[in-house]
Every structure is written in structure tokens, then in C-alpha cells.
Amino acid sequence: MSTQVTEEPTPVTERARTPLVRITGVKKYFPITRGIIFQKKIGNVHAVDGVDLEIYPGETVGLVGETGCGKSTLARVIMRLYDATDGTIEFDGQDITHLKGGDLREVRRNMQMIFQDPFASLNPRRTVGSIISEPFRLHRTVPKSKIRPEVQELMELVGLNPEHYNRYPHEFSGGQRQRIGVARSLALRPKLIVCDEPVSALDVSIQAQILNLLEDLQGEFNLTYLFIAHDLSVVKHVSDRVAVMYLGKIVELADGVTLYENPKHPYTGALLSAVPIPDPNLAAHKKRIILEGDVPSPIDPPSGCRFHPRCPNAQFPKCKEDEPELERMTSGQLAACHFPLPDRAIMDEGAETTSG
């Protein structure tokens, strides 16, 4: 993996030149209303506020950020589960921003989602077989008689016992349920799978199994992932490129190694320094950027750079007045910051020599 590439994915093939997903200037505001009968709009939650992102076929793009930064909303806008307030979403060269009905269903066949909570995302009153076969019945891609063998093949693929076809979700553990979710998302052989915190509800040992499974499936079916999580170490592990989100905007976009070695946005630096390292000596020597306070309210985001109230490097009045744009940094990635971090700001000098 080279360290200079940023916007474009690392495996450079001709096909990879055209993005599978391209979103431009996407905004999603949720109105806040007051009154019961005569509802009056009194403000907006700026959940996603102007995001450009391209996802190329076969790559994994990671999306990280704290709770409330808009990462799940962005994913749902891409999936067209929410309508964007502004901006365009292109999927496979087609503008899908305003698609409706049958056309939308046609597109949705190629994009599927895996949800965070394997306990809430499976209907407890339906058998595993009926849950996994639902996409077949909705899209009628498989004749009725073939559904059962298809589903059992899927179950085997994700590491479930096909004999458990008639069991109910409560009979499975968290990791197995997440496998059911993966099987369901694979049923229509989609091009894009959006994984919304697929492992954060699982034990570490089970997390690793699911991450490996996702990796294997990507190789086998040439899948493209948009992978959302709040844990940078998980995101970095699976992703070719990582986008860091803060209060509805992407503040940094880089490949995983560059991001770890050379974070430019102070927020990325803070996120990185908060990630626990399973190595007592290394952890003790790590530089820490502790963020004060919580994420500000997206109803009335701070002026200028949205991170300035919590930023340890903020310089006034520039950061408070000027909104920084995503710009190419010397180390190659895109970052939106007036005063980016110096090179290797987080990595400890001794870190590389003492690993393991």
C-alpha cells in the first residue's frame, strides 16, 4: 500500500476509475417542530451538512466519528432510507437522489445493509429461513421452489449450520445473529454493503470472526463496503480509506496507514490517541490528546471550524470565523483544518521498535 494515494483507492485497475457511489454536497436536516396541531418549524438538526464522498468498486471505505456526528444518517441517505435535503447521490453512474417506486427497488437490489444491533434487527417471530429469504420474496429473483436451497447455501457461506433453517433468532448467540444479518444482506448478491457498526455489540473474540468473515466475502463476491464504526482500530483494520466525520462533515480522508502515522486534523489525532492499545508499555508512553466536553449540538453548530470549541490547537479569530475546506496535505491526505498537526504528531518515537 503506498502512502501517497488518497482520493483514489489503492488497488488501481481501470474499472476502479469510475466510482460505484458518488455523493456530492449531501445535506440532511431534520426539522424541529413545536405545536401539536399547527406545527411550526423552529429549527433544524444539521445531521449531515455538506459531504462529498466517492466509493470505488471493491474497496472498503471506513467512516468514523463519535455518537451524533451523522455517520449513520449519511449511510441511510446513501441507501435512500432518508431523502437528502440537498445534494446528489449517484450509484453505479445513475443519479438515484429522487428515484421512486420500482426504479428505486431495482437499485436497492444492489445495495444492502448490516445493522448494529443483532438483537433488534431480526424479527423475533420469524424463523431464520424466512428472515434470510425475505429479499428473494421481495425482489422475486429466485423461484419459490429454489428458495430453501439458496438460503441454506447462504447460511453455510456465513458459517451457520443450514439445519438451523427453522430456528428462531433467540436461539442464536449475538455473533451468530450477526451472521444471519450478513447472510440476509448477501442474498441478492449486492454490489454495495453498508455495515453500520456491525461488530460494536459483540465480544472481541466474536468481533474478530465477523471481521474475518466480511473480509472473506469481499474477496469472494467482489463486494464494496461502507463500514461505519466509532472505533478507529476496527475501521482501520478493515478499510482501504478512512473518512473521519465530525458534526456532519468529513474532516479528514486518508488511507488507514497514513491516517495512523500522520493524522493532520486535531480531531483525528484525538480519536487516535483515545484508542486503547493492548500493550501496557506502549500505552503508557503514548501521547494523549484529551478532548474536553462533549460533541456540541448539531442544532446550532459552532461557527467557522466546527471543532474549534474543543480543539487544543485552535487559533482565534481565524478558526472561529473561517470554515476550513478539505484540502490536500503534504503527507497526501485530505484534511479540513487551518492549522494541521505536524508530521507524526501522535506516534511515539519508541513505538515502532517495541511492538510485540
Partner 1 sequence: MAEPLLEVRDLKVHFPTDDGLVKAVDGLTFQVMPGETLGVVGESGSGKSVSFLTVMGLITRKQAIIEGEVIFQGQDLLQIPADEMRHIRGARISMIFQDPMTSLHPFYKVGTQISEAIRVHQKASKKEAHDQAVEMLRRVGISKPDERASQYPHEFSGGMRQRAMIAMALSLNPDLLIADEPTTALDVTVQAQILDLIDRLREEFNASVVIITHDLGVVAEHCDHLQVMYAGKIVEYGTADDIYYNPHHPYAWGLLGSITRVDEAQKERLHPIKGLPPSLIFVPPGCAFHPRCPYVFDKCKVDVPELLPSDGHHAAACHLPLADKQRIYAEEVAART
- d(CA 353, CA 140) in angstroms, rounded, equals 56
Site string for partner 1, 153-182 (x = CB under 8 A): --------------------xxxx------
Pinpoint the alpha helices (H) of 239-324: 256-261, 266-274, 280-285, 318-321
Closest separation in Å from C-beta 353 to partner 1: 12
Instruction: For partner 1, give the closer residue by CB, 15 or 288.
Output: 288
Q: Is residue 242 a contact partner of residue 230, using CB atoms and an 8 Å limit?
A: no
Which 210-269 positions form the footprint of partner 1 (CB under 8 A)?
Answer: 211-212, 215, 230-234, 236-237, 256-257, 260
Closest separation in Å from C-beta 113 to partner 1: 22
Closest separation in Å from C-beta 55 to partner 1: 18
Residue 144: in which H helix or E strand, if any?
helix 144-157
- d(CA 118, CA 70) in angstroms, rounded, equals 21
Residue count, binding to partner 1 (CB under 8 A): 50
Q: Is residue 109 a contact partner of residue 185, using CB atoms and an 8 Å limit?
A: no
Q: Does residue 207 interact with partner 1 by CB under 8 A?
A: yes
Closest separation in Å from C-beta 270 to partner 1: 7
- d(CA 72, CA 169) in angstroms, rounded, equals 24
Instruction: For partner 1, give the closer residue by CB, 16 or 275.
Output: 275
Q: Are strands 249-255 and 334-335 parallel, antiparallel or unpaired?
A: antiparallel
Instruction: For partner 1, give the closer residue by CB, 57 or 175.
Output: 175
Q: From its phi and psi, is residue 195 left (phi > 0), alpha (psi between -120 and 50) or beta?
A: beta
Which residues are near partner 1 by CB under 8 A?
1, 66-67, 173-176, 203-209, 211-212, 215, 230-234, 236-237, 256-257, 260, 270-284, 288, 290-291, 293-294, 351, 355-356
